[in-house]
Amino acid sequence: MEKISNKGFYFKQYEAPFVSPFDKLFDIFKELITHTAGDVEEAIDWLRQLDMEYQLTDDNYTLDDFVEDLKKKGYLREEIKDDGSTERAITPKTEQALRQRALEQIFGNLKKNGRGNHTTKYAGPGDEQTGEFRAYHFGDGLDRISLTESLRNAQINNGIGEFHLTENDLVVEDAQYKAQMSTVLMIDISHSMILYGEDRITPAKKVAMALAELITTRYPKDTLDILVFGNDAWPISIQELPYLKVGPYHTNTVAGLQLAMDMLRRKRNTNKQIFMITDGKPSCVREKDGTYYMNSNGLDEYIVEQCYNHAAQARKLHIPITTFMIANDPYLQQFVNHFTEANQGKAFYTGLKGLGEMIFEDYVRNRKKRVR
C-alpha cells in the first residue's frame, strides 16, 4: 500500500512568549534608570506615571511588589545618607544588567564568533585555521605541521619505494594572526549634549556601556579606557557609566586627546585607537598658566589649530582616531574633515539611531599592524 506523506507549512496565530510581570517591568526600569543617570527615586516615579497611564501592573502584582523584588534579587540596596536617612540605590548587579541590555540593544544582531579576537589580513601564529597550506619555515611550531600533506609531499618528491621524509617535504597550515587592541573611548559631556531639547548623552552613554560589555566578554585580551571631557578631561570607570551626566561645560577636545594619548602610551599593545563621541565644536583650551581660553562663537582658529596639532601627533604615534559627530552643521563637518585628514583616521556623521552599529563596525574592522 502506497504511503502518502503530507509536506508543507502549518500556520497558526502568533503567541507571544511568556514574560513574567517582574521581567516586563525590569526592562522598562533599566531604560529609565539609564535616562535618570542612576537616580532610583526619579526612575520609580517615572515608572509609576507610566503605570497609571498604561496599566503596567494589576492587583496580583503591584509596583510595590516590583520594588520589593528588586531588593530581594539584589538590584537595589538601601544607603544611609549623612543626615541619617536612607535612600535607594542600584547595585553592581544592576550596573552589569544595564551594560548587558545596552549590548543587546545596540549590537543585538551580532553573530557569535569563536574566541572573540580581532583577525587581521596577515597570516601568522594564530589559533584560527585558514585552510591554506605553505612550506615549513624554521621557527614554525611542530603543532602547525600538517601530517597528511607532508606525507603526501614525501611520496611525490622521494617516491614510494622507500619512505623518506625531509624538511623540504614539510607543510604547515596557516592560521589567522590575532591582534590585541587598546581602545580609549572619549565622551563629550559638554552642555551642548542636552541643548535644543535633544538628549544626546543617553545614546552616547548606552554605546559606551555596550562597548564596555562587548570588550570584556568577547575581546577579553583587549583593553578599554573611558574618559569624559568638558572644560577638562578625566578618566571614569566602567561602573560609573550609568551615572554619567552632562555638566555646564565647554568642549575641551584638546584635553581629551591629551589624556587619551597619555593612557595609550602606557599600553604595551601595538594596536591602539581612540573613539571620540561628540556633538559640538571645540570651544575651550587650558593654557599653561592654568587659565582657560573659551570661545563658543563659531570655530575659533586658536582652539581649532591645537586640535589639528594633536590629531597629527596621534598619527605620528600610530594612533588612529575615529570621530562620531552627532551633528549636521556644515561648518562642524568641515572641522571634522580637517581633523580626520590631519590624523588619517575615520569620521562618521551620524544621528543618534545608528551610532552603536557604526562604532561596532569600526571596532571590528579597525586598522591593525602585525608585530614582527
Q: Three-class SS of residue 133?
A: strand
CA dist., res. 100 & res. 182, Å (int): 21
What pLDDT is stored for residue 366 in this prediction?
58
CB contact burial 326-340 (16+ within 10 A = b; e otherwise): bbeeeebeebbeebb
How much helix, strand and coil, in percent to the nearest 5, is found in the chain? 40, 20, 35
pLDDT of residue 182: 92
Contacts of residue 355, defined as CB under 8 A and 6 or more positions apart, other chains included, come to 106, 203, 204, 207, 277, 324, 326
Angstrom distance (rounded) from CA 188 to CA 205: 10
All cell numbers assigned to 225: 579606557
Q: Nearest CA to 259 among 301, 180, 314, 214?
A: 314
Q: Cell 523584588 belongs to which residue?
A: 69
pLDDT digits (tens, 9 = 90+) for 247-300: 999 999 999 999 999 999 999 888 999 999 988 789 999 999 999 999 988 899
pLDDT in tens, 47-74: 999 999 999 999 999 999 999 999 999 9
Beta-bridge partner residues of 175 = 124, 129
Judging by beta carbons within 10 Å of its beta carbon (0-12, 13-18, 19+), is residue 103 exposed, middle or buried?
buried
**What pTM was computed for the model?**
0.75
Mean pLDDT of 114-121: 45
The residue among 275, 266, 265, 272 whose CA lies nearest residue 226 is 275
DSSP assignment of 106-159: HHTTPPP-TT--EEEEEEES-SEEEEEEEE--TT--GGGB-HHHHHHHHHHHH-
The arithmetic mean of pLDDT across residues 319-331, rounded, is: 84
**H or E stretch including 338?**
helix 330-343
* One-letter identity of residue 185: L
Report, as an integer, the average pLDDT of 150-175.
75
